């Protein structure tokens, strides 16, 4: 009525996109009926539905998610916040999340903190401005500002990777237990002088949790010392090779290295074959993650398979369940892990 120009109209940018009204006019119904065709088709009669469908096709209508989100104060966007994209672990998790979200018509908005909790706060603030339907965030450690924002936000949240007391939902595995399990395996194999090697464990605090488990297992076996080598990160495989050389050099009595991840462990195995170090006779090597490469090196790597992609999938499913008001089961979901024994131990 107030608009003089008939369809097609142009928006302020000069573009010319058909709107719900254009479809409605074409179909001979009101715009709200077309809206309902999208949001709750069950409330639209078959005959009307067909008319609307034809009109949509005819005018080439594309739903404007922005307008819909403004009106409904919620959007089908789900921000996912990870610390890094250089780590396969998060890539696999994202893959799981993406698959599930995409299948259910939700969009994944990707944010990266570089392990900076302040950056995390900023990202979350921005993302909440998108009226997100939910949020996926890595880890249970956040700064006070983040925690305050999220506690006042009444949409579902999943914290992934670890287990514990969280903000809302929580999907992951027990890293302390994983570290313990691997070291128990090494002890059972008869290794006694076991070193733990990681890279920047203060940042990668989940690896530090595995070191804690490692120490616990040693202590339980009456071994009080748990030697630790914490290297600066360069390239992970290179760090692994370096760790092997360093430990062989400074601690010739060491009979096994428990690496913080498979990249480092494989770097060590490949370096060993270059240097003529026999694995596991001269020294045993263990990793963590269960990456494909571990099965291709000689000897095959003993490692713990982490349920990375599944963490993504389950996290997504729980979040969507909560968004749709369905039951989510237990708040904290432990996906476990599997020890895969190769020839390297």
Partner DNA sequence: CTGAAAGCGCTAACAT
Partner DNA sequence: ATGTTAGCGCTTTCAG
Counting contacts by CB under 8 A, is residue 134 touching a copy of itself? no
Token pair for 19: 């709107």
Counting contacts by CB under 8 A, is residue 31 touching a copy of itself? no
Counting contacts by CB under 8 A, is residue 65 touching a copy of itself? yes
Three-state SS sequence of the chain: CCCCCCCCCCCCCCCCCCCHHHHHHHHCCCHHHHHHHHHCHHHCCHHHHHHHHHHHHHHCCCCCHHHHHHHHCCCCEEEEEECCCCCHHHHHHHHHHHHHHHHCCCEEEEEECCCCHHHHHHHHHHHHCCCCCCEEEECCCCCHHHHHHHHCCCCCEEEEECCCCCCCEEEECCHHHHHHHHHHHHHHCCCCCEEEEEECCCCCHHHHHHHHHHHHHHHHCCCCCCCEEEECCCCHHHHHHHHHHHHHHHCCCCCEEEECCHHHHHHHHHHHHHHCCCCCCCCEEECCECCHHHHCCCCCCEEEECCHHHHHHHHHHHHHHHHCCCCCCCCEEECCCEEECCCCC
State phi, psi for 27 to the nearest 5 degrees: -85, -10
Selected from 9, 49, 95, 251, the binder of a copy of itself by CB under 8 A is 95
For a copy of itself, which stretch binds (CB under 8 A), given 42-50, 197-205, 224-232, 233-241? 233-241
Counting contacts by CB under 8 A, is residue 188 touching a copy of itself? no
Selected from 32, 50, 54, 110, the binder of a copy of itself by CB under 8 A is 110
Counting contacts by CB under 7 A, is residue 50 touching DNA? no
Counting contacts by CB under 8 A, is residue 85 touching a copy of itself? yes
228 touches, from DNA, a copy of itself, none (C-beta below 5 to 8 Å by class):
none
Return the number of the residue (65 or 110) whose C-beta is nearest DNA.
65
For residues 188 and 227, give the distance between their C-alpha atoms in angstroms, rounded to a whole number. Answer: 19
Counting contacts by CB under 7 A, is residue 250 touching DNA? no
Return the number of the residue (227 or 299) whose C-beta is nearest a copy of itself.
299
Counting contacts by CB under 7 A, is residue 76 touching DNA? no
Counting contacts by CB under 8 A, is residue 94 touching a copy of itself? yes
Question: Closest distance between a copy of itself and the C-beta of residue 330, in Å?
Answer: 27
Selected from 54, 70, 110, 233, the binder of DNA by CB under 7 A is 70
43 touches, from a copy of itself, DNA, none (C-beta below 5 to 8 Å by class):
DNA
Counting contacts by CB under 7 A, is residue 32 touching DNA? yes
297 touches, from a copy of itself, DNA, none (C-beta below 5 to 8 Å by class):
a copy of itself
Return the number of the residue (97 or 186) whose C-beta is nearest a copy of itself.
97
Q: Which residues here bind a copy of itself, judged by CB under 8 A?
A: 11-15, 62-67, 69-70, 72-75, 77, 85-86, 91, 94-95, 98-99, 102, 107-112, 125-131, 154, 235-238, 241, 266-267, 270-271, 273-274, 292-293, 295-298
């Amino acid at each position: 009525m107030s608009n003089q120009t008939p369809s097609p109209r142009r928006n302020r940018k000069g573009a010319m996109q058909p709107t719900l009204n254009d479809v409605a006019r074409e179909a001979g119904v009101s715009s709200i009926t077309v809206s309902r065709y999208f949001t709750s088709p069950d409330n639209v009669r078959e005959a009307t539905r067909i008319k609307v469908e034809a009109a949509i096709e005819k005018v080439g209508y594309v739903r404007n998610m922005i307008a819909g989100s403004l009106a409904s104060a919620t959007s089908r966007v789900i921000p996912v916040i990870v610390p890094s994209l250089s780590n396969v672990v998060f890539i696999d998790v994202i893959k799981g999340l993406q698959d599930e979200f995409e299948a259910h018509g939700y969009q994944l908005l990707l944010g990266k903190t570089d392990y900076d909790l302040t950056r995390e706060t900023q990202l979350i603030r921005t993302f909440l401005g998108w009226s997100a339907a939910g949020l996926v965030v890595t880890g249970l450690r956040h700064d006070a500002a983040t925690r305050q924002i999220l506690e006042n936000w009444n949409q579902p949240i999943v914290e992934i990777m670890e287990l514990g007391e969280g903000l809302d939902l929580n999907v992951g595995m027990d890293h302390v237990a994983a570290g313990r399990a691997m070291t128990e395996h090494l002890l059972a194999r008869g290794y006694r002088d076991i070193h733990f090697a990681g890279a920047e464990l203060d940042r990668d605090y989940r690896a530090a949790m595995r070191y804690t488990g490692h120490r616990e297992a040693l202590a339980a076996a009456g071994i009080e010392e748990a030697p630790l080598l914490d290297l600066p990160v360069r390239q992970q495989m290179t760090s692994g090779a370096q760790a092997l050389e360093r430990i062989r050099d400074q601690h010739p009595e060491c009979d096994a290295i428990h690496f913080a991840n498979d990249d480092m462990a494989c770097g060590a195995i490949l370096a060993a074959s270059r240097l003529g170090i026999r694995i596991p006779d001269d020294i045993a090597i263990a990793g963590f993650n269960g990456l494909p490469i571990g099965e291709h090196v000689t000897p095959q790597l003993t490692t713990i398979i982490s349920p990375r992609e599944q963490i993504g999938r389950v996290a997504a499913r729980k979040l969507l369940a909560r968004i749709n008001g369905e039951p989510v089961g237990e708040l904290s979901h432990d996906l476990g892990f599997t020890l895969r024994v190769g020839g390297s131990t």
